[in-house]
Structure 1
Amino acid sequence: MSAPLDIDGATAPPRSNGELVFAEPWEGRAFGMAVSLYEAGAFTWPDFRAALIARIADREAAAAPEEPYSYYRLWLAALEDVLVELRAVTADEVTARARALARRPPGHDHTHPH
């Protein structure tokens, strides 16, 4: 079973020539994590989609957004919202983990050929 991804509309993932587009490795991981959890039955796709729509609407309603638009930041935030709602994690756990990851140096988990 695969996630029923919207082809059009505000919740559709970025695509180029029909293929999903990820600007950074973490974006693909966040996407894959959400789809894998959905496929495992952790949540329904309508619940995730509603969380994503809410995040997009909040972003659009902000008079002066703090960061440039990032679809996958909103995607990840929606996933966090769904998992907190399910009590799979707490909001404090999400915040603590995000802070820990933010302290890691750029490129910490990527190997580069020399």
Structure 2
Amino acid sequence: MSAHKASSPLLASAGLPRAAGGEPVFAQPWQATAFAMTVRLHDQGLFSWNTWAEALSAELHKPGRKADGSDYYDCWVAALSELLKQLSVASGAELETLTQSWQRAAEATPHGKPIVLENDPLRRG
């Protein structure tokens, strides 16, 4: 991780799964991607640390969370999606359309191959 990213206040996010050395731990590639996107948007000034902390906290404290914390990055993505809607970066409909496209792409991708949006059979060039 670069020194710039290592200094991001997002690394201090409550409940962030960490390795013994303090680096974030990701069970799936999409979790690392969601983390990196959030860090990048924060670094670009799209939202403040306080705004992010409030959004993530709201998701982490919703009823129905998994006791083992295995849904942490699901909460992370939900918080980011909500912020994008609140900041008018993307509408709920746009996010839903993109989510469905990624799901179709995942279903159409052979096991062991990277999932790319271009694998969505309904995607138009």
TM-score normalised over the length of structure 1: 0.78
Structure 2 residue corresponding to 1:3, chosen from 4, 8, 20: 8
User: Identity across aligned pairs (percent)?
Assistant: 33
Whether the 8 Å contact between 1:38 and 1:45 is mirrored in structure 2 is yes
Q: What displacement does 1:48 show?
A: 1.1
Whether the 8 Å contact between 1:3 and 1:45 is mirrored in structure 2 is no
Task: Say which structure is richer in helix.
Answer: 2
The amino acid that maps onto 1:12 is: G
Q: What displacement does 1:33 show?
A: 0.2
Structure 1, unaligned stretches of length 5 or more?
A: none
TM-score normalised over the length of structure 2: 0.72
Q: What displacement does 1:49 show?
A: 1.0
Higher relative contact order (CA 8 A, sep 6+): 1
Which runs of 4 or more aligned residues in structure 1 lie more than 4 Å from their structure 2 counterparts after TM superposition? none
Distance 1:108 1:95, change over 3 A: farther
- C-alpha distance in structure 2 between counterparts of 1:103 and 1:39, whole Å: 31
Whether the 8 Å contact between 2:15 and 2:72 is mirrored in structure 1 is no
Structure 1 residue corresponding to 2:114, chosen from 103, 109, 114: 109
Q: What displacement does 1:109 show?
A: 2.3
